[in-house]
């Protein structure tokens, strides 16, 4: 059996075993804390490790879960099983509000905003009379199930670790799913994901809320475990510590959360006893050791402790179980010869520079149109104006008769315009198959919840079947289970084409697909383009390689210094003295 599955089963089996073994209570308490911390760190793996969004504010969400159950059970006499959901609702609402305000911020602003959020909630908790100010709330009851008191010991251990393992498993399911692949694409910038029709902002908000909910569950448990809540457990210092635990354990890995929480909790206890003895005076010296440890980990093991384990684990090959899956629905395609793309006098100015100067051309269904010109002529800018990555200064683009100038690239892609990138954009640690499946994102609909509950298998099989079909269509059938990051440049570019084809496009836009390819790879690319052409695909090709362009294209558009030099068939263009002059710098 797969080593990962064996490990998970061993962990599940260990929980009841630990509960019945004659371990000292001290260790059970330690394991309880580790379980609680791990829950919050699990959220950070999703948010920071996978999604690339750093938050110092998770402790505040733990606080919301803890204070909600404390207040409602103490003052209203509600059942803690009900207050869990009230806490989750409060957490979701506050995370949504904080998320909507902060997640459009880029760079350092988001971490700073989460610090502000953590601080303000801390002072709010500490100053509200109803929440007992800095003394907090006392006398919270421990949890009970059907009259059986779970207490603070072994019963609590089993409950906490059962929840932890369930949520970790759900998170693993999520990461290996349609929404999970979208989430994993967030870290490498938003351009590629948006070009696949993915709303990156929506997914950022989603993982922010999910991470907060994980923390809230931990807070709910913590309140009934400690039977008291006060602000100190939910302040900025704890927020930093959660992040610290996750980074040390391995912020990119689900099990890194558990390893990090375990290691830091155990070290913390040992050092608090050991260091004052060594130094001779009391004080929080462990903080210094942690600081040094964090620097060392970041320098020598930036991916955390779990990354060492991950390297040793075999990469299980995905079992191909989708052969009999139903095909995904396809969009209606334009009839051969129908006008697909109508570019009308589009213009782009960067300050005083007119990068694209009133360019017009058309593409009919089944045509391959080449956009050529010397370096700096404005080809990429034109490409980005058409795909919605840049906004036009003026002009209009119509796609299948519809004006699309006002739409963001995400919406344009959903209408059936698929693209590749001049510099390959992919998720290197996903397989080729998974990367290509990302292209079919908008053809599926199963969301985060069904992925966590594994209720998405049917759709996943359809997506993978489509991804495999597109890879085989362009002769990449042998690469399905290869890690994308290990591919040479040629196969990487072909993979991008397969990913674009997965979106079932009516128009394919390729930005310099031959750039950086070796001779043989170029020939393979030429074959793929010829084949797509024979299948009736409409293509806009931005390309430097004149041999390729002249062989493949039906129509060429030549740009120079942002303006349209001329357009026509490859033969006409080759004989045009203006074009020769533009390329050779001479009239001859």
Contact residues: Mg ion, CB under 5 A: 380
Instruction: Give CA–CA dist 287/267, Å, rounded.
Output: 11
* Per-residue burial over 250-267, b = 16 or more CB atoms within 10 Å of its CB, e = otherwise: bbbbbbbbbbbbbbbbeb
Give, in order, the Cα–Cα distances in Å from 11 to each of 8, 46, 570: 5, 21, 65
Residue 379: CB minimum distance to Mg ion, A: 5
Taking the least distance from each CB to Mg ion, the nearer of 252 and 378 is 378
Residue 376: CB minimum distance to ligand ADP, A: 4
Phi, psi of 363 (to 5 degrees): -130, 130
Residue 8: CB minimum distance to Mg ion, A: 47
Q: Residues 341 to 380: which contact ligand ADP by CB under 6 A?
A: 350, 353, 355, 373, 375-380
Taking the least distance from each CB to ligand ADP, the nearer of 27 and 350 is 350
Span between the terminal Cα atoms of the chain, in Å:
70
Q: Which does 281 bind (CB under 5 to 8 A by kind): Mg ion, ligand ADP, none?
A: none
Residue 512: CB minimum distance to Mg ion, A: 6
Token pair of 329, please?
A: 């629905």
Is residue 464 within 8 Å of residue 431, measured between CB atoms? no
Residue 546: CB minimum distance to ligand ADP, A: 14
Is residue 401 within 8 Å of residue 368, measured between CB atoms? no
Residue 375: CB minimum distance to Mg ion, A: 7
Q: Side by side, which strands form the sheet with 555-560?
A: 417-419, 507-511, 539-542, 368-372, 555-560, 563-568
Is residue 459 within 8 Å of residue 178, measured between CB atoms? yes
Taking the least distance from each CB to Mg ion, the nearer of 256 and 378 is 378
Q: Considering the rule CB under 6 A, would residue 428 count as an interface residue with ligand ADP? A: no
Q: Considering the rule CB under 6 A, would residue 565 count as an interface residue with ligand ADP? A: no
Burial of 422 (0-12, 13-18, 19+ CB in 10 A): middle
Q: Which does 364 bind (CB under 5 to 8 A by kind): Mg ion, ligand ADP, none?
A: none
Taking the least distance from each CB to ligand ADP, the nearer of 355 and 386 is 355
Instruction: Give CA–CA dist 560/582, Å, rounded.
Output: 7
Taking the least distance from each CB to ligand ADP, the nearer of 267 and 515 is 515
Q: Which does 131 bind (CB under 5 to 8 A by kind): ligand ADP, Mg ion, none?
A: none
Taking the least distance from each CB to ligand ADP, the nearer of 375 and 586 is 375
Q: Which does 416 bind (CB under 5 to 8 A by kind): Mg ion, ligand ADP, none?
A: none
Q: Which residue is nearest to Mg ion (CB)?
A: 380
Q: Residues 130 to 189: which contact ligand ADP by CB under 6 A?
A: none
Using CA atoms in the order 558, 560, 564, 568, what is the torsion angle rounded to 10 degrees? -20
Residue 564: CB minimum distance to ligand ADP, A: 13
Give, in order, the Cα–Cα distances in Å from 253 to each of 27, 175, 304, 455, 536: 25, 10, 9, 23, 44
How many residues are given for the chain? 588
- How many residues lie near ligand ADP (CB under 6 A)? 11
Residue 371: CB minimum distance to ligand ADP, A: 8
Instruction: Give CA–CA dist 345/381, Å, rounded.
Output: 14
Burial of 109 (0-12, 13-18, 19+ CB in 10 A): exposed
Taking the least distance from each CB to Mg ion, the nearer of 192 and 365 is 192
* x/- letters, 380..399, toward ligand ADP (CB under 6 A): xx------------------
Is residue 454 within 8 Å of residue 173, measured between CB atoms? yes
Q: Which does 534 bind (CB under 5 to 8 A by kind): ligand ADP, Mg ion, none?
A: none
Instruction: Give CA–CA dist 157/15, Å, rounded.
Output: 8
Q: Which does 378 bind (CB under 5 to 8 A by kind): Mg ion, ligand ADP, none?
A: ligand ADP
Residue 548: CB minimum distance to ligand ADP, A: 16
Matching residue, tokens 């009516």: 506
The site for ligand ADP (CB under 6 A) is made up of: 350, 353, 355, 373, 375-381
């Amino acid at each position: 059996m797969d080593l990962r599955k064996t490990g998970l089963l061993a962990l599940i089996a260990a929980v009841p075993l630990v509960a019945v073994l004659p371990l000292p209570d001290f260790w059970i308490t330690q394991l309880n804390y580790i379980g609680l911390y791990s829950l919050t760190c699990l959220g950070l793996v999703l948010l920071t490790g996978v999604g690339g969004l750093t938050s110092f504010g998770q402790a505040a969400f733990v606080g919301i879960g803890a204070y909600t159950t404390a207040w409602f059970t103490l003052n209203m006499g509600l059942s803690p099983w009900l207050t869990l959901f009230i806490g989750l609702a409060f957490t979701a609402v506050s995370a949504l509000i904080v998320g909507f305000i902060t997640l459009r911020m880029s760079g350092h602003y988001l971490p700073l905003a989460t610090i502000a959020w953590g601080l303000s909630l801390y002072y709010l908790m500490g100053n509200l009379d109803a929440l007992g100010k800095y003394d907090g709330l006392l006398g919270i009851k421990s949890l009970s199930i059907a009259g059986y008191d779970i207490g603070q010991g072994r019963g609590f251990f089993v409950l906490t670790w059962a929840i932890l393992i369930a949520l970790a498993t759900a998170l693993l399911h999520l990461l290996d799913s349609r929404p999970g692949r979208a989430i994993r694409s967030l870290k490498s910038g938003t351009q590629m994901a948006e070009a696949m029709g993915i709303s990156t902002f929506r997914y950022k908000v989603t993982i922010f809320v999910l991470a907060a909910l994980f923390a809230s569950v931990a807070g709910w448990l913590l309140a009934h475990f400690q039977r008291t809540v006060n602000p100190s457990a939910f302040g900025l210092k704890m927020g930093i510590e959660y992040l610290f635990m996750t980074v040390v354990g391995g912020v990119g890995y689900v099990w890194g959360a558990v390893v990090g929480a375990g290691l830091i909790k155990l070290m913390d206890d040992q050092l608090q006893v050991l260091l004052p003895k060594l130094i001779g005076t009391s004080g929080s010296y462990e903080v210094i050791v942690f600081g040094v440890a964090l620097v060392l980990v970041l320098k020598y093991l930036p991916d955390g402790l779990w990354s060492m384990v991950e390297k040793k684990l075999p990469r299980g090959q995905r079992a191909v179980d989708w052969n009999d899956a139903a095909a995904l629905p396809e969009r209606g395609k334009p009839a051969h010869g129908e006008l697909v793309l109508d570019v009308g006098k589009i213009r782009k100015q960067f300050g005083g520079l007119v990068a694209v100067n009133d360019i017009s051309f058309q593409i009919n269904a089944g045509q391959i149109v080449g956009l050529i010109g010397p370096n700096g002529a404005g080809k990429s800018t034109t490409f980005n104006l058409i795909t919605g990555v840049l906004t036009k200064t003026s002009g209009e683009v119509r796609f299948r008769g519809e004006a699309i100038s006002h739409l963001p690239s995400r919406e344009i892609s959903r209408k059936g315009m698929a693209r590749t990138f001049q510099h390959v954009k992919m998720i290197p640690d996903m397989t080729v198959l998974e990367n290509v499946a990302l292209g079919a994102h908008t053809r599926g609909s199963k969301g985060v919840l069904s992925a966590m509950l594994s209720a998405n298998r049917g759709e996943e099989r359809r997506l993978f079947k489509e991804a495999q079909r597109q890879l085989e269509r362009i002769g990449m059938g042998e690469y399905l289970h290869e890690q994308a990051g290990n591919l040479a440049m040629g196969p990487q570019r072909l993979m991008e084409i397969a990913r674009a084809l997965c979106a079932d496009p009516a128009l394919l836009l390729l930005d310099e697909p031959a750039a950086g390819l070796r001779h043989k790879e170029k020939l393979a690319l030429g074959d793929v383009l010829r084949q797509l052409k024979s299948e009736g695909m409409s293509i806009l090709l931005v390309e430097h390689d004149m041999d390729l362009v002249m062989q493949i294209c039906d129509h060429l558009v030549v740009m120079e210094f942002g303006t349209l030099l001329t357009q026509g068939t490859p033969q006409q263009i080759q004989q045009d003295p203006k074009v020769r002059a533009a390329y050779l710098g001479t009239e001859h």
